[in-house]
Amino acid sequence: MNALGKHLLLELNDCDCELLNDISSIRDIMICAATEAGATILGESFHQFNPKGVSGVLIIAESHLTIHTWPEYYYAAADIFTCGTTVSPEKAAEVIIDRMNPRTHSVVLVHRGMVRVEQKITG
């Protein structure tokens, strides 16, 4: 069995609430994470909520990176889903954790698309 992709789920606790509400900084962090991981960015969408919070997505050729922030709880959740072997989702997670600087965090790895090689349709 081979996994078609890796999906990292990040829980970022006790982050700076001003950072969590700064759409420009959140966007920069996510773009830096994708770039450092070796991903090819195809598109993006980031939204500033009123009164606070940011959600964002980067569409990458290898899948996606997303983030959702709750400044009032000093919390952010990020997902990094990559397919293939050319991108390092672990590097993207490292960048996000480093730049978000949570007091505590966790990372869960989910292997997606567990398939047998002989299942692949050719031609």
Per-residue model confidence as pLDDT tens digits over 70-92: 999 999 999 999 998 899 999 99
Q: DSSP letter at 88?
A: -
Concerning whether 17 is annotated as a catalytic residue, the answer is no
Between CA 30 and CA 18 the distance in angstroms is 16
pLDDT at 117 (0 to 100): 64
pLDDT beyond 90 at 32: yes
66 inside domain: yes
93 inside domain: yes
Q: H or E stretch including 10?
A: strand 2-13
Concerning whether 32 is annotated as a catalytic residue, the answer is no
14 inside domain: yes
Concerning whether 63 is annotated as a catalytic residue, the answer is yes
* CATH number of the domain residue 40 falls in: 3.60.90.10
Domain count, the chain: 1
Q: Which of 68, 105, 106, 111 is catalytic?
A: 68
121 inside domain: no
123 inside domain: no
pLDDT at 28 (0 to 100): 98
Domain range enclosing 55: 2-116
pLDDT at 1 (0 to 100): 60
112 inside domain: yes
pLDDT classification of 122: cutoffs 50, 70, 90 = low
Q: Which of 7, 15, 63, 105 is catalytic?
A: 63
Per-residue model confidence as pLDDT tens digits over 45-76: 999 999 999 999 999 999 999 999 999 999 99
